[in-house]
Structure 1
Amino acid sequence: MKRIQAPWLLSAPALVLYAAFVIAPIASVFLISLYSFEFYGGIRASFTLKNYIEILTEGYFYEIYGRTFGTALAVTLACIVMGTAEAYVLSRMRNPWKGVFLMVVLGPLLISVVVRTLGWALLFGSTGLISQALQAAGLASGPVNLMYTDLGVIIALTHVMVPFMVIAVWASLQRINPSTEAAALSLGASQFTVIRCVIVPQVMPGILSGSIMVFALSASAFATPAIVGGRRLKNVAMAAYDEFLNTLDWPLGSALGVLLLIATVIVLLSANRLIERRYGAVFGET
């Protein structure tokens, strides 16, 4: 009996903290999403699905969710390409350069996301460095303004999220035996073939875990889309923020958050299932 109880007793503090700081807030938000709201009467504790029906039947909310997940997908794909390449180069470096460049990659995490985003806002303006460089190179005939555009949001979010992908892929690369790459090269495979057929399948668990972090954080991002995208390119986090603090419609804002959580989990589980089906042998070994 003691052997059965020991694991539960040891994990009890962590379970209590998890329940208090994760499960309880999510349950509270879900409960509030079932309340009704009246402009003059405020929030009423009458359980209804009106908020969910409104979101699922209004084209305005479909546009917001489509923009949110489209941006998150684009950022995730960009981070996969850039983060995997950066992690591969880092893994092949020798000390002390490996440590130096790892700090260069992870350095942005030490700076506030708001400060980084404001820096991008200065670069993206019509008089910013990017616009001036494109005009000087003859690639643009006039000022180029990336502020309040989807491309600007994707670039800024990619800069924020790519370190998470590098960390995940770099950890997987540390478990690869370098002799497998050398064996493939000795058998006449090109470097591109080695990366595509030998390296990528072995680091797929790291790419998957990094993609989960990047997609979830990008879909729920607020500061970067709010600063670079502005009010015109509103995502789900900004819409929920408006409902909570501007219109004070907490039930509708909670419903937006709950649906965002559910949709994100469904997307991530579906991607996980597809990748595991293709790289099942690799996941089984790791």
Structure 2
Amino acid sequence: MKQPRATPYWLSAPALALFALMVLLPLALTTILSFQRFNHETGVQPGFTFAAYATVLGDSFYWEVFGRTGWIALLATLLCVVLGVPEAYILSRMRSPWRSVFLLVILAPLLVSVVVRAFGWSLVLGPNGFVNQFFQWVGIGTVRMLYTPTAVVVALVHVMLPFMVIPVWTSLQKIDPMVENAALSLGASRFTVLWRVVLPQVVPGVLSGGLIVFALSASAFAIPGLLGGRRIKMVATLIYDEYLHELNWPLGAAIALALLVINLVVMLGTQAVLESAYRKRMGT
């Protein structure tokens, strides 16, 4: 019996309705809010204006915050790639039960609230924390790390590393071990096998993991708020200030939408460029 053409749409309707309710509707309301008027005496007023976007584009302060957010997210992403790819490769070569044990260790930070992890790093990186105690022991002295970009990047790497390891590890699981053995039997060195055989096949995993890490790092709130403080202003904390401190909801909505657009442009542009280079290299 032939399946009705409308059946797939009816089956996907609940998921589409939930997506529209939880994502599209709040996004539409935020967009509408960003175009409304605001007065410090009367608050949000009905109307249509580009004043919030003009403020974001015309003030160098907001450009500085977006720039700081971008390079911190990019640095965290690069560090996650440097640490996560070898970690995923080692994990894929482990045997049971060690593979399950170390996979649990990698995923364990996801079971702890990001706020708890941020407070833990504040204790580690604080003036009397473990790191400064070690520096004093070796004779370096106290180094100010808390409320600096260094603290934010370190904590972001700790939080985001599982999102890099898992996609790369999944890509490695699809590689036939006999391919590496064939390359070794033909005289290739271990480094050549990793560079010419393994790495090209895990590029999709690195790409997906990098995009996830960058997007989550750029929109992170708890870590910049707790470890960056008032000195290291990032976009998420700026949105929080506009909504709850200044009560300028249209400006906060405009900043949030600008962050969303920038994230989408970076993700889609990077994906297009890297996938094109990957296809050329693989000859497809």
Sort the TM-score into its range (normalised by shorter chain).
over 0.9
SS in 1 for 2:261: helix
Cα 1:82–1:216, aligned 2, differ >3 Å: closer, same or farther?
same
**Correspondence 1:237 to 2:254:** no
Q: Distance in 1 between matches of 2:283 and 2:151?
A: 39
The answer for the alignment partner of 1:253 in structure 2 is 252
CA RMSD of aligned residues (A): 1.6
Q: Distance in 2 between matches of 1:196 and 1:131?
A: 38
The answer for the alignment partner of 1:218 in structure 2 is 217
Give the drift of 1:284.
9.3
Give the drift of 1:136.
2.1
Task: Tell me the TM-score normalized by structure 2.
Answer: 0.96
SS in 1 for 2:96: coil
Name stretches of at least 5 consecutive residues in structure 2 with no aligned partner.
Answer: none
Give the drift of 1:186.
2.3
Cα 1:260–1:182, aligned 2, differ >3 Å: closer, same or farther?
same
Give the drift of 1:213.
1.1
SS in 1 for 2:38: strand
Give the drift of 1:212.
1.5
Q: Distance in 2 between matches of 1:76 and 1:284?
A: 28
1:1-286 to structure 2, matched below 5 A, reads: 3-138=4-139, 140=140, 142-280=141-279
Q: Distance in 2 between matches of 1:283 and 1:168?
A: 20
Name stretches of at least 5 consecutive residues in structure 1 with no aligned partner.
Answer: none
Cα 1:51–1:283, aligned 2, differ >3 Å: closer, same or farther?
farther
Q: What is the CA deviation profile of residues 151-192 of structure 1, one whole-angstrom value per residue up to 9, with x for unaligned ones?
A: 111000000000111111111111001111122222232222
What letter is aligned with 1:32?
Answer: L
Task: Tell me the TM-score normalized by structure 1.
Answer: 0.95
Q: What is the CA deviation profile of residues 95-125 of structure 1, one whole-angstrom value per residue up to 9, with x for unaligned ones?
A: 0000000001111111111111111101111
SS in 2 for 1:56: helix
Q: Distance in 1 between matches of 2:74 and 2:282?
A: 23
Give the drift of 1:242.
0.4
Cα 1:79–1:133, aligned 2, differ >3 Å: closer, same or farther?
same
Q: Distance in 1 between matches of 2:198 and 2:157?
A: 23
Cα 1:231–1:212, aligned 2, differ >3 Å: closer, same or farther?
same
Q: Distance in 1 between matches of 2:30 and 2:282?
A: 35
What letter is aligned with 1:107?
Answer: A
What letter is aligned with 1:173?
Answer: L
What letter is aligned with 2:154?
Answer: I
